[in-house]
Amino acid sequence: MARELKLMKGNEAIARAMIASGADGYFGYPITPQSEVMETLMAEKPWETTGMVVLQAESEMASINMVYGGAATGKKVATSSSSPGISLMQEGLTYLAGAEIPCLVVNVMRGGPGLGTIQPSQSDYFQSVKGGGHGDYQLYTLAPASVQEMYDFVFDAWDIAFKYRNPVLILSDGAIGQCMEKLYTRDNVARWTEEERRANAPWATWGKPATRPHNIITSLELDSARQEVFNLKLQKKYAEMKEKEVRYEMLNCEDADYIIVAYGSSSRIAMKAMQMAREKGIKVGLFRLITLFPFPSKQLAEVAKRVKGILCVEMSAGQMIEDVKLATECGVKTEHFGRFGGIIPTPGEVLEALENKIIK
Amino acid sequence: MANTDIEARKQELLNEGYEQVYTKTKVLTDTVMHYCPGCGHGTTHRLVAEVIDEMGIQDKTVGVSPVGCSVMAYNYFDVDFQEAAHGRAPALATAIKRLNPDTFVFTYQGDGDLAAIGTAETIHACNRGENITMIFVNNGIYGMTGGQMAPTTLVGMKSATTPYGRRVDLNGYPLRITELISTLPGTYYVTRQSVQTPAAVRKAKAAIRQAFENQKLKKGLSFVEILSNCNSGWKMTPVAANKWMEDNMMPNYPVGDIKVDGKLVDNVDVSRLALDHPLTVMQ
């Protein structure tokens, strides 16, 4: 497929981008509101075209561990789920991070806690960027705000994952996953050849040739001194991501008296609220996070110096706001506005919150 | 002892007139194993490694180790290896094989890993008929964590968490997972072997060879249970532990083929458990 204009759901965009970006495998388990990812893959039958393997696993624990096994052979392997399923994957994610296995995981968030609701939410921020599993680790976390970005970020994810040997998380939500929008497809990227796999993942386990020692994929190190050295190596990697791989978008921030910080579907609502405020003569800007880890701390702190207040909009009880306050060292008035349980705030509510919590 | 020291010592002994009668298979590394002397893991490792060597598939094999005593099997086998989270080895192996169909993939797991925390992964990998080999070492106990009750712990058997013996009313029945998975259409070869005598070792090796040969046939999953003593966990000498295993484990976990070429072996009753078998006293 070349560059074409299409209309599709966010979840379908994820599936089609996996095929188009040369993914080797997908392992998943059904859960609302992301089931269309695997349904699309199964309907497309990529094993007959690109050779991509698609398998429905017996649980999210199995699917994330299938990702571990497949990705540790140096192949591009992905899974997707929604919040309760992602909770089940936390063990696998910390093992993947600990064994430094590049892979792609997509979370189409729904409301919690527990079984919660099947409607959109953004209450998995802490789980995503503060280490949902045990141990000190980070997932490179991308937050798409459109169906186009759902598609594009799959392509970007492979580059980051293999560059840093680290799992990449696309943190979306039920609104982006379920809504239909137009998108431009990209040229297909062929799956790696055997030679490319070996060149891109010399650490991987595909069968030891006589020319190299056996490769071992593990996160176990019983010698504390060596485990500390390994942890320091991981931290260095995360620091490099913070230095080089931060992504964000600023709209109308140059002359803004106030800014809204948001990501994903909340940023789309905030954009409308910003326009409504501008029409009323209030100079509002939008700082949209694209990477949640690494967090654009320096860039946000720069903008924060010039404004009178920050409103954080997130469909949660206020998780992202903690990183905003850390970035700005609480140097400016910062408040949270959010709705819960699958309720999506309206632009009018966001504007009202801005006026009542920040401007007043 | 470093490898160079081993080589030097070997040369010394040869110079003194000793004859070399035993060679380690090249598919095992020189890393000193951490297993307790007398444990069946060392023997089972060697058998798997010999089969890989004899079949000439060292460069095509990927192993998956569990959490448990054999967690560091990757240090001992000179093949590419992945270490799985507890119980998840069959999920890893599923993906390794599906994405790399020309490789030989095996899991190496203990009873706690395969038959307790990993039961779902075990049953579903078997039921899908994944074209892999599963090596299952059953010693009736969690060895690595200090001898707690395993799903395979016998009724009446003492462990760190059943200090007065396993009670059915409290702990339920021992799980014969091997018989259970033999009833699934996805399994092609299911057998139970042991490694406590030279004769048993030879039979176990033939079974492991068969299980790896079956991967070439692409007909489904091959599953080899190996009964082993856990002399440390059972708190016995290795010799006494092997005797206890023969007297107590084997009546409950009968040795032999259960399913061959996709068919249950005649006269094998996969549903019966020898619960009435009197347990000899564990000291």
Do A143 and A9 sit in the same domain of this protein?
yes
pLDDT digits (tens, 9 = 90+) for B29-69: 999 999 999 999 999 999 999 999 999 999 999 999 999 99
Q: Report yes or no: A190 and A49 within 8 Å, Cβ to Cβ.
A: no
What span, in angstroms and rounded, lies between the C-alpha atoms of A66 and A86?
A: 14
- Which of A160, A179, A197 is the endpoint of a domain? A197
pLDDT at residue B272 tops 70: no
Minimal Cβ distance to B80: which of A63, A205, A219:
A205
* pLDDT of B283 higher than 60: no
**Which of A166, A197, A228 delimits the end of a domain?**
A197
Q: Tell me which residue of A7, A23, A16, A22 sits closest to A39, measured CA to CA.
A: A16
- What residues of chain B lie within 8 A of the CB of A207, using their CB? 59-62, 79-80, 100, 103
User: Does residue A146 sit in the same domain as residue A264?
Assistant: no
Q: What is the average pLDDT value for chain A, to the nearest integer?
A: 97
Domain count for chain A: 2
Instruction: With H, G, I as helix, E, B as strand and everything else as coil, classify residue A355.
Output: helix
Residue A156 belongs to some domain of the structure: yes
B154-160 mean pLDDT: 94
Cα–Cα distance for residue pair A265/A348, rounded to 1 Å: 15
Taking residues B149-175, what's their average pLDDT? 93
Please state the φ and ψ torsions of residue B115, each to the nearest 5 degrees.
-110, 0
Mutation for B interface: A63, A193, A218, most B CBs within 10 A = A218
- Give the residue-averaged pLDDT of A105-129: 97
What was the pLDDT predicted at B128? 98
DSSP label of B82? E
Residue A207 lies in a domain: no
Q: Are residues A258 and A121 in the same domain?
A: no
pLDDT at A262 exceeding the cut of 80 = yes
Closest CB from B29, B83, B99 relative to A73? B99
Q: Is residue A240 part of a domain?
A: no
Q: Which of A102-106, A115-119, B207-211, B276-280 has the lowest mean pLDDT?
A: B276-280
- Using an 8 Å CB-CB cutoff, list chain B residues near A91: 85
Residues A303 and A193 in one domain: no
The answer on A259 and A192 residing in a single domain is no
Residue B270 has a pLDDT of 76
Cβ <8 Å between A214 and B83? no
In-domain check, residue A131? yes
Q: What is the pLDDT averaged over residues A324-330?
A: 97
Please tell me the total number of residues recorded for chain B in this structure: 283
pLDDT the model gives residue B2: 63
Q: What angle do CA A300, A303, A307 make, to 5 degrees?
A: 125
pLDDT beyond 80 at A110:
yes
pLDDT at B266: 84
Mean pLDDT, rounded, for A310-326? 98
Residues of B in contact with A75 (CB under 8 A): 99
Binary contact (B81, A216; C-beta < 8 A):
yes
Q: Place B278 in a pLDDT band, splitting at 50, 70 and 90.
A: low
- For Cα atoms A256, A259, A263, give the angle at the middle one, nearest 5 degrees: 135
Task: Please enumerate in sequence order all residues whose Cβ is within 8 A of that of A21, keeping only pairs 6 or more positions apart, or say none.
Answer: A76, A154, A155, A158, A186, A189
pLDDT at A160 over 70: yes
A169 and A285 part of one domain: no
Closest CA to A201 of B100, B173, B145, B260: B100
Note the pTM of the prediction, 2 decimals.
0.95
Quote the CA–CA distance of B25 and B172 in Å, as a whole number.
42
- Alpha carbons within 13 angstroms on the beta-carbon side of residue B15 total 6
Asked if A67's CB is within 8 angstroms of B120's CB, the reply is no
Last residue of a domain, one of A161, A180, A197: A197
CATH code (residue A51) = 3.40.50.970
Which CATH number do you get for residue A292? 3.40.50.920
Question: What's the whole-number mean pLDDT along residues A50-72?
Answer: 98
CB contact under 8 A, B80 and A58: no
- CA-based torsion, A197, A203, A209, A211: positive or negative: positive
What's the pLDDT score for residue B115?
98
pLDDT over 90 (residue A19): yes
Measured over the CA atoms of residue B132, residue B137, residue B142 and residue B143, the dihedral's sign is negative
Residue B23, pLDDT > 90, answer no
- Pairing relationship of beta strands A103-109 and B221-227 according to DSSP bridges: unpaired
Burial A160-193 (b: 16+ CB within 10 A, else e): bbbbbebbbbbbbbbbbbbbebebebbeeeebbe
Q: Chain A residues within 8 A (CB-CB) of chain B?
A: 24-25, 27, 53, 55, 57-59, 61-63, 65-70, 72-73, 75, 77, 91-92, 95, 99, 205-210, 214-220
Spell out which residues of chain B touch residue A215, defining contact as CB-CB under 8 Å.
80-81
List of domains in chain B: 23-264 (3.40.50.970)
- pLDDT over 70 for what percent of chain A? 100
The span from the CA of B196 to the CA of B242, in Å, is: 6
Among A186, A184, A178, residue whose Cα is nearest residue A9: A178
Predicted confidence at residue B276, as pLDDT, reads 58
CB contacts of A77 in chain B (<8 Å) are 95, 99
Report the distance separating Cα A242 and Cα A141, nearest Å. Answer: 12
Q: Which residues constitute the domain of residue A44?
A: 5-197
Q: Are residues A191 and A253 in the same domain?
A: no
Give the percent of chain A with pLDDT over 90: 99
* Average pLDDT, integer, range B186-210: 98
**A156, A253: one domain:** no
**Secondary structure element (H or E) that encloses residue B214, with its range:** helix B198-217
Same domain, residue pair A60 and A184: yes
- The whole-angstrom separation of Cα A56 and Cα B52 is 31
Same domain for A12 and A100?
yes
Query: How much is the pLDDT for B1?
Result: 53
Give the H or E element holding residue A251: strand A248-251
- Rounded to whole angstroms, the Cα distance separating A137 from A291 reads 16
Task: Quickly state the pLDDT bin for B22 (edges 50, 70, 90).
Answer: confident
Environment class of B281 (CB within 10 Å of its CB; exposed 0-12, middle 13-18, buried 19+)? exposed
Averaged over A117-146, what is the pLDDT? 97
Q: Please state the rounded mean pLDDT for residues A311-315.
A: 98
CB-side exposure of A53: number of CA atoms within 13 Å?
A: 22
CB nearest A69 (choices: B78, B93, B120): B93
Q: Above 60 in pLDDT, residue A1?
A: no
In this predicted structure, which of B3-17, B100-114, B128-142, B161-175 has the lowest mean pLDDT?
A: B3-17
Give domain status of residue A129, yes or no.
yes
Question: CA of A191 to nearest chain B CA: how many angstroms apart?
Answer: 12
Segment A137-159 mean pLDDT: 98
**Separation in Å, CA B42 to CA A49, A317, B39, B114, B283:** 45, 54, 7, 19, 25
Q: How far apart are CA A173 and CA A261, in angstroms?
A: 17
More confident residue, A131 or B102: B102
In a domain, A229, yes or no: no
Phi, psi of B85 (to 5 degrees): -65, 160
A21 lies in a domain? yes
Give the H or E element holding residue A54.
strand A53-56
Report pLDDT for B116. 98
Residue A67's nearest CA partner among A42, A37, A97 is A97
Q: Are A73 and A180 within one domain?
A: yes
The answer to whether the CB atoms of B99 and A70 lie below 8 A apart is yes
Question: Do A62 and A122 reside in the same domain of the chain?
Answer: yes
**pLDDT for res B87:** 98
- Does the residue A220 lie in any domain? no
β-bridge pairing A140-142 and A103-109: unpaired
- Kindly list the residues from chain B whose CB atom is less than 8 angstroms away from the CB atom of residue A63: 91
CB A139 within 8 A of CB A97: yes
Report CA-CA distances (Å) from B133 to A6, B125, B126, B196, B236.
45, 11, 10, 22, 31
Selection from B81, B66, B50 nearest residue B212 by Cα:
B50
Question: What pLDDT is attached to residue A360?
Answer: 87
Helix, strand, coil shares, percent, chain A, to 5: 40, 20, 40
pLDDT of residue B158: 94
Peptide bond into A294 cis (omega under 30): yes
pLDDT tier at B274 (50, 70, 90 boundaries)?
A: low
